[in-house]
Amino acid sequence: MVKLTRIDLVLTFCHVGTISSEVFVFELLGSLATVAAAGGSALVGYWQSRQFTHNKLRYVDAVHKATAPVLAGVAAAAVAAPIVWLLPLVGTGTALLFGGSVAMGVAAGARDIRKRIGAG
């Protein structure tokens, strides 16, 4: 039977604490990278879809229907799903967030068009 002294227990505890703090730092960096990738894709998706709706779909009446943002968001999430499946840091939540941001961008672009023409 091995008898551990108080010094051995303290050194073992300190060593385990060091390893877990190193792992914690890498997990924190990985989490921050994931949040940055998800947030960046959401911002780009919103901005690009709003600009595209405002500039290219200005004369399309279908963009003003309530289903247009929903269809655009579902299509964007469906396109992003296989892409995030291949990437190591992002997942399904990122694809859903991207789809939601595209839907909100289309809705905002359609609202900008309605404000510009004075229809509401």
- Note the pLDDT tens digit of each residue in 33-84: 999 999 999 999 999 999 999 999 999 999 999 999 999 999 999 999 999 9
Is 0.85 surpassed by the pTM of this model? no
* DSSP letter assigned to residue 62: G
Q: Which residues of 103-115 are buried (b: 16+ CB within 10 A; e: fewer)?
A: bbbbbbbbeebee
Q: Taking CA 115 as the corner, what is the angle to CA 64 and CA 105, rounded to the nearest 5 degrees? A: 55
Contact 106, 50 (CB under 8 A): yes
Instruction: Locate the domains of the chain by residue range.
Output: 6-117
